[in-house]
Structure 1
Amino acid sequence: MSGLKTKELSKIGYTDDRARSLVINIMARHFKHHDNAAIIQLLTDIKARPADFLQDEVLGKIAAVFADQPEVRHFQSFDLLEAGGQLKVYGGKDIEHAARRQMEVAMSLPVTVQGALMPDAHMGYGLPVGGVLATEQAVIPYAVGVDIGCRMALTLFDEGESFLKRYSYQLQMAIREYTHFGMEGGLEFRQEHAVLDRPEFRDTPLLKSLHGKAVRQLGSSGSGNHFVEFGLLTLEADNSLSLPSKQYLALLSHSGSRGLGAAIAQHYTKIATDTCKLPRAAQQLAWLDMNSEAGQEYWLSMNLAGDYARACHQQIHRHLAKATGLKSLATIENHHNFAWEETLTDTRKVIIHRKGATPAHAGELGIIPGSMTTPAYLVRGKGAEQSLYSAAHGAGRAMSRSKAREKMTVSALNKIVAGAGVTLIGGSVEENPLAYKDIDRVMDAQRELVQVEGRFMPAIVRMHKE
């Protein structure tokens, strides 16, 4: 390494002191036995393709210097419109002003066609959580969200309340052993799934660099409001599953695409904000043209992240069914942080973003959860076009996470959970039941959007322990 001069580093593009100092330190420590020609070639590759090296424990620090530098891109500036498309609000009395204002800004985008605000809505980044937005030939990364493909999955088993009571301890042990929560890490045993062999992982430098993380995190769940829980589902007589109306043991999970989706969201949001200049109030709603290379890359990456999120749920449900010897009768699942290409009744093709909203086309099944001690509902969509064929994705937050920490203690949370007859594994005061809106009030506000087919009550709940 002693033969490598700063002049040589400058020649290959390492022109600032930060980059050169970083290279000299890292190469002296980790590459002292490599010859200069090999090092020059390696450094040239890192500068040319930083995304390929970002996940490397050693070289990632060098790659980050160049990944942080925005590529030279052409950009367009856009003004907001005074009157946007048609907006329909459900359960308006319980929706905070900040979320309404965010939705109004989204409606003033020149690419907006139509919008809807669900009764569980609250303020988010870009589009409010509970916001649904139809755009023309444009996809907005922050209208999809950071946790791309965050979703619900519900499996019904051929057992009931007696099994839950008799084998409660075994179910608790299984849920501890076969789930993992948190921003980092994964399950302690090897995961295999066809999604890991998808060719899209070789289609862009970003996806290539994220494959290793996807392998490590498959079958695990995030933090915050993500959960895996056993409980009892009571089916209505008129249900789409053609199953008898009675109580079933069921497994319910909520999580998304882990680090894969977050990295995709971050990468393409930066491209969008670099190329689509908007007034400050709307900056987070920068979009990618669907006909652009970046737009097509994001669409491909978003769909892969959605399929990866689905695979994570499949692994969780498969592992737990096998560990407990339970026989599955049916599984229902749905995304709620995603964008779809759809056709409105006037034949216009649009991109419908559902950020914290459940697809509810006519006859479509979905799951709308409450909290760790309140019901989740199995629903059938009614296909209301005014809601852009959507419904709420949960109870929705009544308090911010910081406010929930101020208002609730661990002992008070334990008392609430015990009083509801729920066993909580992990969890945090941020996710306490009082931090959420009344799920039954939310369901009442969307009677024209969905028909209830079943009611699930949690019994054993696992969440991330903050």
Structure 2
Amino acid sequence: MNQQPTNLIQEQLQITGEATATLPVGPETSPITVIGTESIRQTFGDQTFQQAINSRLAPGVSHVVLNPDAHLGYGAPVGCVMVSPDHVYPGPVGVDIKCSMSLLQMDLEASELESKKVRRAVIRAICERVPTGAGRGQRHVPKSRSVKSRLGFQVATEGASKSVLKNLGIPTHWADACEDASHSAPDGRTETLAERLEWIGRERDKQKRLDTKYRQLGSYGGGNHFGEAEAVQVDQQQTGVASQFGLKDGCVAFLSHCGSRGFGHDLAMMQFRALKSLFQERGQPFPANDPQLAYAHVDSPEGQQYLCDMAMGANFATVNHLLINALVLEAFQEVFPGAQGDLVYFISHNIARQEPIDGQAQWVHRKGATRALPANHPQLQGSRFESTGHPILLPGNPRDGSSVMVANAGADKSAYSVNHGAGRRLSRTKAKKQLSQQAIDQGLLDQDIISNCRQYPRDEAPDAYKDFQEVLRSVKQADLASQVAHLRARFVIKDGAPADD
């Protein structure tokens, strides 16, 4: 990776507002857009800035945005937006294809979860249905949905189709609350995805591995993946928008973070290996000498294959979230008979989507970044969010809460994107070394937050992440989005295994 001295990179920043700046990268190249207050910009670090520069100078890239949660990533920083009219970059999408957030709104009053005994009963009911941790599948819990190979194949190629949702016992109208309910091949055909998946599974060992990954549907991964019960606190200036979103002030909601599990990971790694080998066979240099920035033209065979594989990983992630939410609702109903719930929204933060940017269709790569389309954006035309903008789900940490936001018109400066959360302040290794287990567990208890973990993972502690309030202030001051509701954690479901992404 090419390196510039840190002080030179910092000195080159041109401050354009309280929470906006640009980073010039050359006389004939548009600068990198940097979102964040001064204190947030100090958290980015040398390598994060350098990765952003390398990404901006990579072939075919037209824009790069650093969001407030930015930190070192695979090829491009996590918390980065990378735009290209005609190139796709698997690295900036990442190995957990379509890692996403979803929010299930219950009609239960938050006071129903005051009792720790009741909360533990709900945690137990959820954990009987939804496995957690890397590599685990439905066989590990007694009340999960059974996903056989044929249905898994259908999930990967169709996404949240009515047939898939009915087979899994998921409300079919939840597809309307998805950023994208299904993804097809670049030619628009589901059959192309089926042909691709059949080709991938042609070898017996690969088919056995696919069958194993299908069984992970309806499960959380490890690391930063979680499920969290919330008390919803609607901003009194946003009651109309909150009502349009389906949020209920003072009631319980359930926030989930996970992605395409081992299925998406395997597809991504297969693509990384194939593209790296192709570059080496051609004697073609990697951008900034970084193999993690290997790319393909969208119209090339390699580009088309990547888009097919990304679509299948995205379909898997979508149905994984919807199934988790159906199982969580079932768990709440076991403890609270008659309780009702509905999906507020499902939105991704690890994907490349074709969107109108600067008057032309471009591939917007969001690596740890969330789509943020404001009211009356052309891509919301005909949806129930056309007049408001769609919900943005931003996880912070259990101690400081999370946020539901809505995009402002000013989001055009960031390629209609915001951060995907708080962003790491400490690496996992540093968090384990520097943070006290006793202080972490006591801190959550002091906030009356419980979890399914005997000891909360140190590398996932609130202090391993950036100051979420300062991150939100950056988003608001940059005029990217406004808060609609604050989510206060009541309990958390986690696993101590390594993260998928």
TM range (shorter): 0.7 to 0.9
2:343 is the alignment partner of 1:343: no
User: 403-412 or 205-214: which moved more?
Assistant: 205-214
Counting matched residue pairs gives 386
* Cα contact 2:224–2:460 (8 A) shared by 1: yes
Higher relative contact order (CA 8 A, sep 6+): 2
1:34-45 superposed matches below 5 A: none
Q: CA deviation at 1:328?
A: 1.2
For residues 458 and 101 of structure 1, do their structure 2 counterparts lie closer, same or farther at Cα, with a shift above 3 Å needed?
A: same
1:123 matched to which residue of 2?
72
2:269 matched to which residue of 1?
266
2:430 matched to which residue of 1?
403
User: Which structure 2 segments of 5+ residues have no match?
Assistant: 1-24, 158-190, 280-284, 334-338, 375-388
Task: Write the distance in 2 (CA, Å) between the matches of 1:364 and 1:190.
Answer: 30
**Per-residue displacement from partner, 1:198-228 (whole Å, max 9, x unpaired)?**
3535424326635313321110111110001
Q: Give the share of equivalent positions with the same residue, in percent.
A: 27
For residues 281 and 226 of structure 1, do their structure 2 counterparts lie closer, same or farther at Cα, with a shift above 3 Å needed?
A: same
**Per-residue displacement from partner, 1:403-438 (whole Å, max 9, x unpaired)?**
000012322221111112110222411101110001
* One-letter amino acid of the structure 1 residue matched with residue 418 of structure 2: A
**Per-residue displacement from partner, 1:297-335 (whole Å, max 9, x unpaired)?**
111111121121111111111112122223114421110
For residues 296 and 412 of structure 1, do their structure 2 counterparts lie closer, same or farther at Cα, with a shift above 3 Å needed?
A: same
Q: CA deviation at 1:238?
A: 3.4
For residues 228 and 245 of structure 1, do their structure 2 counterparts lie closer, same or farther at Cα, with a shift above 3 Å needed?
A: closer
* Cα contact 2:406–2:483 (8 A) shared by 1: yes
**Per-residue displacement from partner, 1:347-381 (whole Å, max 9, x unpaired)?**
22211100000100111212010113221111112
1:25-424 superposed matches below 5 A: 84-91=29-36, 92-166=41-115, 167-188=118-139, 189-192=144-147, 196-197=153-154, 198=157, 200-204=193-197, 205-206=199-200, 209=207, 211-236=210-235, 237-242=239-244, 246-276=249-279, 277-325=285-333, 326-345=339-358, 347-362=359-374, 363-383=389-409, 384-424=411-451
* Two-structure CA RMSD over aligned residues (Å): 2.1
* Cα contact 1:120–1:397 (8 A) shared by 2: yes
Task: Write the distance in 2 (CA, Å) between the matches of 1:308 and 1:137.
Answer: 25
* Cα contact 1:84–1:109 (8 A) shared by 2: no
SS at the partner of 1:373?
Answer: coil
For residues 176 and 446 of structure 1, do their structure 2 counterparts lie closer, same or farther at Cα, with a shift above 3 Å needed?
A: same
Task: Write the distance in 1 (CA, Å) between the matches of 2:54 and 2:438.
Answer: 41
* Cα contact 1:241–1:330 (8 A) shared by 2: no
2:469 matched to which residue of 1?
440
* One-letter amino acid of the structure 1 residue matched with residue 318 of structure 2: R
* Cα contact 1:370–1:376 (8 A) shared by 2: yes
2:175 matched to which residue of 1?
none
For residues 83 and 421 of structure 1, do their structure 2 counterparts lie closer, same or farther at Cα, with a shift above 3 Å needed?
A: farther
For residues 288 and 227 of structure 1, do their structure 2 counterparts lie closer, same or farther at Cα, with a shift above 3 Å needed?
A: same
User: Which structure 1 segments of 5+ residues have no match?
Assistant: 1-79
Q: CA deviation at 1:241?
A: 3.5
Task: Write the distance in 2 (CA, Å) between the matches of 1:265 and 1:258.
Answer: 11
1:31 matched to which residue of 2?
none
Task: Write the distance in 1 (CA, Å) between the matches of 2:441 and 2:201.
Answer: 42
2:378 matched to which residue of 1?
none
* One-letter amino acid of the structure 2 residue matched with residue 391 of structure 1: V
2:6 matched to which residue of 1?
none
2:483 matched to which residue of 1?
452
Task: Write the distance in 2 (CA, Å) between the matches of 1:145 and 1:371.
Answer: 22
Q: CA deviation at 1:115?
A: 1.2
**Per-residue displacement from partner, 1:12-51 (whole Å, max 9, x unpaired)?**
xxxxxxxxxxxxxxxxxxxxxxxxxxxxxxxxxxxxxxxx
* One-letter amino acid of the structure 2 residue matched with residue 287 of structure 1: Y
Q: CA deviation at 1:450?
A: 1.1
* Cα contact 2:196–2:308 (8 A) shared by 1: no
* Cα contact 1:150–1:337 (8 A) shared by 2: yes
**Per-residue displacement from partner, 1:383-403 (whole Å, max 9, x unpaired)?**
522201000100000000000
Task: Write the distance in 2 (CA, Å) between the matches of 1:286 and 1:248.
Answer: 46
**Per-residue displacement from partner, 1:135-187 (whole Å, max 9, x unpaired)?**
12111000101111000000111111222125323212112212211111212
TM-score, length basis structure 1: 0.78
* Cα contact 2:137–2:217 (8 A) shared by 1: yes
2:18 matched to which residue of 1?
none
For residues 298 and 131 of structure 1, do their structure 2 counterparts lie closer, same or farther at Cα, with a shift above 3 Å needed?
A: same
Q: CA deviation at 1:382?
A: 2.1
* One-letter amino acid of the structure 1 residue matched with residue 131 of structure 2: H
